[in-house]
Structure 1
Amino acid sequence: MEDVKRLVQEAYEFGYFVGYKGHSEWAEWVRERRERLYARAQELGVYDLVKNAYNRGKLEGAKKREEEIRKGLGKETAGEERPRPRISLEEAEETIEAPEVEFVRFLESTRLLLPPDLLDTLKHLKPPRMLHLGR
């Protein structure tokens, strides 16, 4: 259950990042990461849930970007300090590719919450109480 919840959260965050940053879904690194998410979802039997979370995040990210562009906040405003990532750029570049570094920085500087209705769908995935799992 925790794996499913984490996977849905990751799909939503990645979709939000792609939508907010305006990345093309056909960029190889985006496609590969999305396919890894979908493959993991297929293994857990929650493909549709993960796909919906990704698409929802992408739409909401694009919407937020559009709002900020309209307000003139699309890029960092002068004098505004952004939170620094916990890992250094050098460490990140050694372990992951450059687009992935951007994604890590984005997650560190933005707090994303799953919409409540996505969390409600997870209730249907709980094992029956009669199996006494996890107790």
Structure 2
Amino acid sequence: MEEAKKLVQEAYEFGYFVGYKGHSEWAEWVRERRERLYARAQELGVYELVKNAYNRGKLDGAKKREEEIRKGLGKETAGEERPRPKVAPEEAEETAGAPEMEFVRFLETTRLLLPPELLDTLRHLKPPRMLHMGR
């Protein structure tokens, strides 16, 4: 039960990150991580909950990003383009794990709470208390 709850939380946080940062679903590292989450969820029998948590997180993250862009708090600003440093091919290979590190830093700096409707669905995973009365 506790592992399922952590998995739902992890799926929501990852979905929020993908939505907030605007990463593509087709990016290899996003697809691989999502498939790992779904495989673990399948083993625990909570696939639909994890899938819903990921999608809900992605929508919430995208919505938050839009709000911040409208308020002018996001990184993107209209008409302003920063010069990008040129990266040598050797450096590009080293930054292959950069999205994973970015996700870890994002979780360290952002506090996310599961929406109440996702928490309510977790309650239904516990066996009824009356089954434990004879013990």
TM-score calculated relative to the size of structure 2: 0.81
Aligned mates of 1:57, 1:122 — CA distance in 2: 16
Partner SS for 1:105: helix
1:65 corresponds in structure 2 to: 65
The aligned counterpart of 2:98 is 98
Q: Secondary structure at 1:73's aligned position in 2? A: coil
State the SS of the aligned residue for 2:114. coil
Unaligned runs of 5+ in 1: 77-93
Q: Does 1:12 align with 2:5?
A: no
**Cα distance in 2 between the residues matched to 1:26 and 1:63:** 20
Q: Does 1:128 align with 2:118?
A: no
User: Which amino acid letter does the alignment assign opposite residue 43 of structure 1?
Assistant: E
Larger radius of gyration: 2
**Alignment correspondent of 1:81:** none
Q: What do you get for the CA RMSD once the two structures are aligned?
A: 2.1
Displaced runs of 4 or more, over 2 A: 128-132
Report the equivalent of 2:113: 113
- Secondary structure of the 1:20 match is helix
Unmatched 5+ stretches in structure 2: 77-93
TM-score (norm 1): 0.81
Aligned equivalents of 1:56 and 1:105: distance in 2? 21
